[in-house]
Amino acid sequence: MPAVDKLLLEEALQDSPQTRSLLSVFEEDAGTLTDYTNQLLQAMQRVYGAQNEMCLATQQLSKQLLAYEKQNFALGKGDEEVISTLHYFSKVVDELNVLHTELAKQLADTMVLPIIQFREKDLTEVSTLKDLFGLASNEHDLSMAKYSRLPKKKENEKVKTDVVKEVVAARRKQHLSSLQYYCALNALQYRKRVAMMEPMIGFAHGQINFFKKGAEMFSQNMNSFLSSVADMVQSIQVELEAEAEKMRVSQQELVSVDESVYTPDSDVAAPPINRNLIQKAGYLNLRSKTGLVTTTWERLYFFTQGGNLMCQPRGAVAGGLIQDLDNCSVMAVDCEDRRYCFQITTPNGKSGIILQAESRKENEEWISAINNISRQIYLTDNPEAVAIKLNQTALRAVTPITGFGKKQESSCPSQNLRNLELENDKIVPKAAARVPDADELIAPGTPIQFDIVLPATEFLDQNRGSRRINPFGETEDETFPEAEDSLLQQMFIVRFLGSMAVKTDNTTEVIYEAMRQVLAARAIHNIFRTTESHLLVTSQTLRLIDPQTQVTRANFELTSITQFAAHQENKRLVGFVVRTPESTGGEALSTYVFESNSEGEKICYAINLGKEIIEVQKDPEALAQLMLSIPLTTDGKYVLLNDQPDDNDGSPSENRGAESEA
């Protein structure tokens, strides 16, 4: 080791400027050493603190590894192998925690403690001796100044003696303190080297001991375990890469699809619609009332489950029941100027909920699915096949179709009912007439009109007290004064189903064929919306009246009605053929089909009775005979026969005399 600079003790008494200059160098070195020692101690304390933190961290890590098993993971299936591996790692971490705790103790004893002792003992001693040396030097300077002021002429021996003694004591004190100070500074040059290396020796020994014990503890058992864990991680990584590649390819395929998948109504004209659904799911807008006249629409996720319509808000764990679909009805509706709305009605006829789909395809598929579910198809063994069969025979799913042969065997009882009853014994059986083909009755491709009955709110002016002008040519009841004087006034509740042009009015088969085509078109296109109206039969006209505004939607002269009949199996269906003149000089034939709340036979009987009244009014005697044969009300109007109760109006008390509503 190279020689160490030191202060000469022999020069302490002389206290020359050269000695003082060398002393200042040693003092500067001691100050620098003090600052560095403080910084080094902070670094070593940080290492010791980190080691203590490692002990606490490994202890916490071990607990967290064991806590994995207790976590209630929603997708924790197949984690048994991971749990067992983490248990073993927890045991390893506990053993490592013991080693970390021992290393922290060794660092405290062999690294931090020596540097603290060096700072508190050696550096503090040098600082204290420096202060004492400074005090002694000041006292010596003061005594020498006092000694120098002694007079030359009159010397006071006693005073001189006292001053000399004071100088001697001060010089001795300075000499002694300087010797101690010089010795401490000289020794510090050796002690600082020891103080710098001794803590690092303790640190190195502690680390070596830690790693050595760790190697001895884990080298035998950990190799095979770590190898198996590495293999497991590698296999998981391979699976992850394969799955990531699949997802990447799938993502590219999904992104590269046509832009129409993002468009709500990509094919408005003719979207591909599946009408055989027995379950359906997707987002719909639900209409809710927030006040007397205010409503809100909320976008929610709906799905069918068995015979129930369920709703699940976004973020909810499960869905809730919204509507029981068994035996309910569904139809498209117009609501608040929104498109693709439909309404679900309960079996008892009460209006249910109103929903809005995002496209025409979704709207019609929801209507088809709910319609299929309402028939309880889902309870069958093969609901998909049943749904396909029912939609293939859509007409039979709505109402039975009577064969032409069967219709021909039993002639229509609606027309000329009273004549048939009076002349029943005179009827001579005739050979069955040829059943006309459908093309002979109705031209193929004839358009069907479904909206002859417009919503009443379009014609209702609630803000005007005076009578308004109807731009559509519709009239109110006051424009028909003959209604008050008519001998016959019968009111029926009906729903317009459709009308179409026909070729002939020579047979009632044209009415049956029109019924078949209208109902088939409604079933195929899922047109379930109908508007309720009042059908008023008088002795002169047949009028269709809006029940809310009493506006007459349509008016037919009885003389223009050439055929009328009720369906032979579905008693509520009724139709009639109207002959109207054209501007070209010819005549047009149109068939109108209705569904009544009562039996269609009653409507046919009322029409037949009105036509008979028109005929007998030309002969007063025949009119009197007819009035005697039919019961009248107190005001002289005819009463319809009501020998069979209505399906929806079974209470006799609800039949109101001459104006019984079916």
CA–CA dist 110, 104 (Å, integer): 10
Buried b (16+ CB within 10 A) or exposed e, 441-462: bbeeeeebebeebeebeebeee
The DSSP output letter for 218 is H
Averaged pLDDT for residues 492-511: 90
Q: Which fold has domain 489-629?
A: PH-domain like (2.30.29)
Averaged pLDDT for residues 653-662: 33
pLDDT band for 610, please (50, 70, 90 cuts): confident
pLDDT of residue 421: 40
CA–CA dist 456, 449 (Å, integer): 18
**Who's near 82: CB < 8 A, 6+ residues apart?**
68
Q: What is the pLDDT of residues 206-221, one digit of tens each?
A: 999 998 888 887 776 6
Cα 397 to Cα 332, 393, 474, 520: the distances in Å are 19, 7, 36, 9
Q: Amino acid identity, residue 85?
A: T
Nearest to 47 by CA among 110, 124, 141: 110
Kindly tell me if the per-residue pLDDT of 597 is higher than 50.
Answer: yes
Task: Give residue limits of the domains in the chain.
Answer: 17-150+160-220, 281-392, 489-629
- Assess contact for 593 and 575: CB atoms under 8 A: yes
- Assess contact for 535 and 542: CB atoms under 8 A: yes
CA–CA dist 126, 129 (Å, integer): 5
- Assess contact for 48 and 29: CB atoms under 8 A: no
Between vectors from CA 250 to CA 245 and to CA 252, what angle results, nearest 5°?
A: 95
CA–CA dist 509, 84 (Å, integer): 82
CA–CA dist 603, 275 (Å, integer): 35
- Assess contact for 441 and 502: CB atoms under 8 A: yes
Cα 184 to Cα 4, 88, 123, 130, 241: the distances in Å are 14, 57, 9, 10, 70
Which alpha helices (H) appear in 448-599, and where do they start and end? Answer: 482-485, 509-524
CA–CA dist 126, 114 (Å, integer): 17
Domain 17-150+160-220 and domain 489-629 have a common topology? no
- Assess contact for 304 and 318: CB atoms under 8 A: no
Q: What is the pLDDT of residues 442-489, one digit of tens each?
A: 988 788 888 764 433 333 333 334 344 444 444 444 445 444 456 778
Q: What is the pLDDT of residues 385-402, one digit of tens each?
A: 887 877 765 444 333 333
Q: What is the pLDDT of residues 188-247, one digit of tens each?
A: 989 988 999 999 999 999 999 998 888 887 776 677 788 888 888 898 899 999 999 999
Instruction: Classify residue 68 as exposed, middle or buried by CB count within 10 Å of its CB (0-12, 13-18, 19+).
Output: middle
Characterize the bridge pairing of strands 475-476 and 489-501.
Answer: unpaired
Kindly tell me if the per-residue pLDDT of 364 is higher than 80.
Answer: yes
CA–CA dist 399, 497 (Å, integer): 13
- The CA radius of gyration of the chain, in Å to the nearest whole number, is 56
Kind plus residue range of the DSSP H or E element containing 69:
none
Partners of residue 484 on adjacent β-strands: none
Phi and psi dihedrals of 551, rounded to 5?
Answer: -85, 135
Between vectors from CA 354 to CA 353 and to CA 356, what angle results, nearest 5°?
A: 140
pLDDT of residue 404: 35
More confident residue, 392 or 136: 136
Where does 281-392 sit in CATH, by number?
A: 2.30.29.30
- Assess contact for 619 and 625: CB atoms under 8 A: no
Q: Which fold has domain 17-150+160-220?
A: Substrate Binding Domain Of Dnak; Chain:A; Domain 2 (1.20.1270)
For residues 105, 106, 107 and 110, what is the CA-based torsion angle, rounded to 10 degrees? 130
